[in-house]
Amino acid sequence: MKNQSLFAKMLCLLFVMIVLSMVSYTLVLQKVQNEFLLRQAKSVSRQIILTRQWISGLGGVWSKDVYTKEHGFLTTYKNASDTEQSSEFYLHNPALATREISSLADIKYGYNFRVVSDQFREPKNKPDAFENEALNRIRNQKLDYTDGFDGELYRYAEPLYVKKACMKCHGDLNKDVKEPMKSILLDKYGTRAFGYEVGDVRGIISIQIPRDSLLRILTSVFTWWNFIIAAVSVFLFYFFTRFVIAGPLVRLTEAATQLSRGEIDTDLGTESIQENTKNEIAQLTMAFERLRKSFQIMHNKISRIRKKG
C-alpha cells in the first residue's frame, strides 16, 4: 500500500467508507427493527389485557351452539322454550378466549401469544424455558417486561397482575370464589391456581413475533433511486479524486522530476492560477514555479560569469 499511487489509495478509502457505511446502516436498521418489534409486542399486550379485563368483568363470554374443539369451554348451559328449539351455550373464560384469539392471530398475521404461569391449569399454559426464565426475572427483579430472540423469533414477556375481577376465579376458595363457579372450577381444574391476592403476579403474557431478515428489509427499503444516487456519488468521488486531486499532483510530480534533471524551462501551467488562491495544490504549484524561476535566475548568472571568464 505504501508504494501505491495517491489515486489508488483514495479508491481504497472510498471502498472502506462504503463498507463502513453499509455496516453502520445495517446496525441502525437492526436497532429500528428491534424497537419496532418491541412496540408491536407492547401494543398486542395492551390489547390482550383489555380483552381479558372486559371478559372477566362480564363473568365470561357465552357462545351459542358453537365452540372451538381445540380449546373447549369452561361449562355449558341449555336453554329451552316452547317456541324455540333448545340451544346450548358454552362459557369462555379469559384464558380460553386468549387462546382462541391467539390461534386466529397466528393464522391471519403470523404471530401468537398466550398467558402462562407456574400455576397453570391447562397443560397448554405451561411455560417453556424462555417463559420460565422471564417469569422468574419479572418477579425477582420487578421488571415491566423482558424480551429476547430465539433464532428469527422475537420473544416478549410482560407480567399479568391479579385484578379484583380475577379474584372470583383465582382468589380464596372460602371467601372470594362463589358458587356455581367454585364447583365448575374445582371439577375441571382441581384446587390449582387459587389463593391469589390483588396485585400478585398471576403469570406472564408471552408474545412471539417472527422477525424479517435484514436482507429482505434492505431489498424492500432500497429503490432504483437509491442505487442511482449511490452510483452518482461514487462517480463524483472518482471524478474529484482523479481530476481535481490526483491529476494535478501527477503533473506537478512530473514537472518536479524535470526540474531535478535541470530542465528549468519546464512549464508548470501557472498562468491560469490566481495569486490569492486557497487551493493547496495550486499554492504548491506556485511555490514550485517560484523555485523554478530562482533556479533559472541562478542558472543565467552562472552562464554569464562563465562567458566572461
Residue that terminates a domain, selected from 187, 214, 241: 214
CA gap 201, 44 in Å, rounded:
19
User: 250: which residues sit within 8 A by CB, 6+ positions away?
Assistant: none
Domain count along the chain: 2
CA gap 116, 124 in Å, rounded:
8
What secondary structure does DSSP assign to 105-130, as a single string?
Answer: HHHHHS-EEEEE-TT-SSGGG---HH
What range does the domain containing 283 cover? Answer: 223-308
Residue 1 lies in a domain: no
3-state DSSP percent of the chain in helix, strand and coil, to 5:
55, 15, 30
CA gap 223, 243 in Å, rounded:
30
The reported pTM is 0.69
Chain position carrying cell 379469559: 94
Q: Tens digits of per-residue pLDDT, 161-211?
A: 998 888 888 999 888 888 888 898 888 888 889 999 999 999 999 999 988
Confidence at 107, pLDDT banded by 50, 70, 90: confident
Residue that terminates a domain, selected from 175, 192, 214: 214
Residue that terminates a domain, selected from 183, 214, 245: 214
Query: Are residue 144 and residue 67 in the same domain, yes or no?
Result: yes
Q: Tens digits of per-residue pLDDT, 231-279?
A: 888 888 888 877 777 777 777 777 778 777 777 777 777 777 777 777 7
Residue 15 lies in a domain: no
Query: Are residue 235 and residue 257 in the same domain, yes or no?
Result: yes
* DSSP summary character for residue 196: -
